[in-house]
Amino acid sequence: MVALQFLMTSAMAADESPLREAEVANFMLGNGMEVVVIPDHRAPIVTQMIWYKVGNADEPPGKSGIAHFLEHLMFKGTKKHPSGEFSAKIAEIGGEENAFTGSDYTAYHQTVTPESLRTMMEFEADRMRHLVLTDAVIVPERDVILEERRWRVENDPEQLLEEEMQATLYQNHPYRIPTIGWMHEMEQLNREDALKFYDRYYAPNNAILVVAGDVDAGRVRQLADETFGTLPRGPDLPARVRPQEPEQNTKRIVALTDPRVTVPSFQKSWVTTSYGTAEQGEAEALDILSEILGGGTRSRIYQELVVKQAIASSGGAYFNGRSLDPSSFTVFGSPRGEAKIEEVEDAIDAEIRKIIEFGITDVELEKAKNRFVRSIIFARDSQSGMAGIYGAALATGDTAHDVEAWPLRIRAVKAAEVQAAARKYLSPDRSVAGYLLPRESATSGDKSR
């Protein structure tokens, strides 16, 4: 479903905040619903996002896919607004809508004119507590998500490998379960499952309203009070405590051979900390590590493998830091020409070892910070981007202040902290290596066994 020199003067430091704290309003309604308002008056449009603090990692055992299934069912109507009316209204006023499910949250958003914001709030508030679900709705929509799994996962070798990688990387934590669900469990989902999940999690005191655009905080507060504020609280939920990972001390291999694969690829992942679990500065160091190691064409992996050695057609790294529980760090690459996938893996491993053994230079560190912070700043050019940054952060335990301080925390990362993060987390003895191979590459002696 998303992340981000100048010399460090106080004026520049202030400008590095995506939106200064005074401009962003953050308050609670009487029923426990959190609201964030991000003014942006450059264009007469507004984006509303509703974030529910529940994702597929919160599903009951044996009910995988119920969070995503309910996301679909939320468009099926209420007594006041029949199925399709909400979407038809958005289309009528020339707006846009979407929804998505993640491991830790589920979100719904609309982009419309400011004059239509009240209408969007009324629709969202209505379906937050008054969704009508019948078997006549459940069965056809279950068929829809089953078909979605077939074309998004079963028919895509890359997604199949990714799914198996996650299931292998996490041995105990529910992050190992695919967001869309396992097919055999999805087939059994029913009306009772959906209603139990809806009644438990879809309530104002488990939701965050983020409004970004041509609005002011006072007006949003008034509208939110008059719409969402009239809803009763849902159950007071306990803290989200999930099964945690045991100490990992093995190197695991996942290989998929498929005739649909034309170019082999490699990836390697590690369980790491996240912004939701990290000691101070550690997640920021991992973000900078991913930028230096594989964050684009200036990164070590790209420059060494693609430009200098010319053995890879692509390569990079990324850190999935925005999660409630421990997350992951991944490197990847694909061979070029006559190069072998083993050469790509060995070269990436060598770049990791260099950082672990010798660290990074101060110049390299500053350039990486520049690129990362600029990407945060550029995000304010997108209302949905800014709303997404705030929503994902608040839904995984951060505050609005944490979001505003993010660029300055990135600025504070030291070279030794990046090296320490690499040494702590990127051990080959605690990794999962994945190989996506053409069918003809599968021999008795290769990694596809």
- Helices 362-378 and 415-425, axial angle in degrees (round to 10): 90
CA-angle at 315, arms to 311 and 319, nearest 5°: 155
Q: Distance between CA 440 and CA 176 in Å, rounded?
A: 30
The pTM score is: 0.92
Domain boundary among 198, 230, 262: 230
The answer to whether residue 5 sits within a structural domain is no
Q: Identify the CA nearest to 27 among candidates 405, 394, 382.
A: 394
Domain boundary among 195, 230, 265: 230
What total number of domains does the chain contain?
Answer: 2
Is residue 321 within 8 A of residue 246, CB to CB? The reply is: no
State whether 420 and 381 are in the same domain.
yes
- How many CB atoms lie under 10 A from the CB of residue 149? 21
State whether 224 and 259 are in the same domain.
no
State whether 226 and 258 are in the same domain.
no
We report the CATH number of the domain holding residue 335 as: 3.30.830.10
State whether 256 and 225 are in the same domain.
no
The answer to whether residue 36 sits within a structural domain is yes
Number of residues in the chain: 449
The answer to whether residue 246 sits within a structural domain is no
The answer to whether residue 271 sits within a structural domain is yes
Is residue 166 left, alpha or beta, with left meaning phi > 0 and alpha meaning psi from -120 to 50? alpha
β-pair type (252-258, 432-438): parallel
Query: What pLDDT is stored for residue 81 in this prediction?
Result: 98
Domain boundary among 230, 262, 291: 230
Query: What pLDDT is stored for residue 126 in this prediction?
Result: 99
State whether 302 and 412 are in the same domain.
yes
Query: What pLDDT is stored for residue 381 in this prediction?
Result: 77
284 flagged as catalytic? no
Phi first, then psi: what are they for 409, rounded to 5°?
A: -70, -35
The answer to whether residue 449 sits within a structural domain is no
State whether 403 and 295 are in the same domain.
yes
The answer to whether residue 7 sits within a structural domain is no
State whether 323 and 406 are in the same domain.
yes
Residues in the chain predicted with pLDDT less than 70, given as ranges, are 1-22, 441-449
Q: Which two tokens stand for residue 89?
A: 């209204």
Sequence-separated (6 or more) residues with CB below 8 Å from residue 417: 281, 282, 285
The answer to whether residue 224 sits within a structural domain is yes
Rg (CA), the chain: 23
State whether 172 and 286 are in the same domain.
no
State whether 184 and 272 are in the same domain.
no
**DSSP characters for 126-181?**
HHHH-B---HHHHHHHHHHHHHHHIIIIIT-HHHHHHHHHHHHH-SSSGGGS-TT-
Query: What pLDDT is stored for residue 6 in this prediction?
Result: 24
Query: What pLDDT is stored for residue 441 in this prediction?
Result: 54
334-348 tens-digit pLDDT: 999 999 999 999 999
Residue 97 lies in domain: 23-230
Of 16, 34, 71, 304, the active-site residue reads 71
CA-angle at 358, arms to 353 and 360, nearest 5°: 100
The answer to whether residue 11 sits within a structural domain is no
State whether 302 and 223 are in the same domain.
no
